[in-house]
Amino acid sequence: MWILGVNAPPTGWHDSAACLIDQDGRIVAFSEEERLNRHRHSLYRKPNSAARFVLAQAGLTPDDIDVVALGWDSEQLYPRRFASDAEFLAYAVGLDFGTRTPEVVRVPHHQAHAASSFYASPFRKAGVLVIDGHGENESSTIWTYEDGAEPRLERSWQRTASLGYAYDAASTWLGFSFLNAGKTMGLAAYGRAAGLATEPLVELTADDFRMAVAPLAEHRGTATADEIKEQYDTVVGRWRARYAALAGADGPGAPEEALADDPKAVLVAYTAQRVIEETVTHLAALTRKAAGVEELCLSGGVALNCSTNGTLPGPLYVPPVPHDAGVALGAAWTVRPPRHHTAPLSPYLGTDVHGPDHTGRPAAPDTAGLLRTDLDTDTLTTLLMDGQVGAVAQGRAEVGPRALCRRSIIAVPDTAEVNTRVNHIKNREQWRPFAGVTRPDYGARLWEQQEHLSRYMLGAARATDLGRQVAPGVVHIDGTTRPQVLHGDEAPAVGAVLDTLARRGAPPVLLNTSFNDKGEPIVNTAADAVAAFRAMDLDFLVLGDDLYRKPGRTGGARR
């Protein structure tokens, strides 16, 4: 039995994705469409290339698929839009399934989110908290999941009581897209560092919460996509008006690159961040109480808020794909849960760096004019210790929005200035922070410990005195970093460098950020990596087992 999970339009109109599992719930391959078609967030695009990729990984054709699982109830949101499942699949996925139309299973959005988190975790039983903009009929839900048992929905909150809407409003007030909420989170740290006082916009009660912008009177328990869009616009508009009243302005008074110096912008970002932190902390406690266990899983777009995740006590698990792309996996797992899950999910499920491009053809990189040598760890380590900044593209790509050392830009973070240079390389605002990566034992000395969050770089942690001393380039203005710990040979080149740094007596920690230019998805194939290397002000590129450098940048002197 083969199950193809998808996040697909018209319901999943951003972050479309495809995932293939077998009859035992084992993942064969998983990719976001943006990695293949090279359009960030893949807005309104079907996961056609991702679906072809995951099938190719198993040597299958579309007519081998038994079930297509969708992470939304498309029938509720778009009633009577499609005359048949075959018509729906042609629109949503775009594969030719021939004369044998697979069964289509429509999994409620929050249930798909919950499954993607629990079954990716090492827990046998857990409370699962899902928080996002909205599902079909809810904005936050609490679940109990246990191996061998049907999941149990404990509580839900209506669509317009949405924490996601509150944060979207702050992001758009700041001039960002709602898909750039990470910028809002990074800016909020400047308010925390300044000890800024914020107006409380959420009231917590014993078993509930009430936000300053009241939810709408939703006359129907269910709604179509058009009705939900109208409600979204109304509630986000009211939240934006509330932030405007707090700041005394309808928007920032500084351009995007200078927002950290704009008190009004910092106030709005930090106010929204406090709403999230206070409410999620409360809901996490309610989830643990409802499930009767301390093990907690998070999912939904709000689970990408690393600053909030880092404030929650453990045991806590967030999957590498908590956002909407993850419902492709969760929908498939709802149909056929994995038989065994005793370790956290490996995120390295995407395209091999030397694999074909999105058309299925070999993607030969254009390396003309570049200087190639065999990859040597000592040489690579020396380049990094001498202040060079480079990129790594090896093996199968990570799933999710965090680069986890297989599609990463790396540098030694021993000065604050490296932060400035890497932001320049990525064409980012200078107030944006970076993350650090190390081995587990050294990470215990650099920052507060996280049992699972640091596996996928999904939780902020306060840096220790040693962390601030040896790795200032990855410590944000509020004294936190978003750490990653690298186990074994998960990412061979970066792991080898960390071990070599330790042998040389240097701090075994690197700056790690996604290998992509502004507005681009993270690189996927070798051709993507070489094109980005040429376009960006990088010194070297690790591509598989090769090391490439640009003419005139073969030395190791600090720049």
Residues serving a catalytic function are 14
Tokens 């010194």 belong to 539
CA 361 to chain centre: 28
Among candidates 162, 135, 179, 62, which has minimal Cα distance to 331?
A: 135
Measured CA to CA, the distance from residue 402 to residue 400 in angstroms comes to 6
Measured CA to CA, the distance from residue 495 to residue 383 in angstroms comes to 16
Measured CA to CA, the distance from residue 94 to residue 87 in angstroms comes to 10
For residue 231, CA distances in Å to 137, 170, 189, 225, 301 come to 12, 17, 30, 10, 19
Angle (deg, nearest 10), helices 181-193 and 263-291: 100
Is the bond preceding 440 in cis, omega lying within 30 degrees of 0?
A: no
Q: What is the largest CA-CA distance in the chain?
A: 68
Torsional sign, CA 30, 33, 38, 42 = negative
For residue 334, CA distances in Å to 150, 271, 459 come to 10, 37, 26
Integer distance in angstroms from the first to the last C-alpha of the chain?
A: 56
Tokens 């079930």 belong to 67
From the CB of residue 301, how many other CB atoms can be counted at a distance below 10 Å?
Answer: 24
Tokens 């720049």 belong to 559
Bridge partners, residue 103, by sequence? 67
Q: Is 118 helix (H, G, I), strand (E, B) or coil?
A: helix
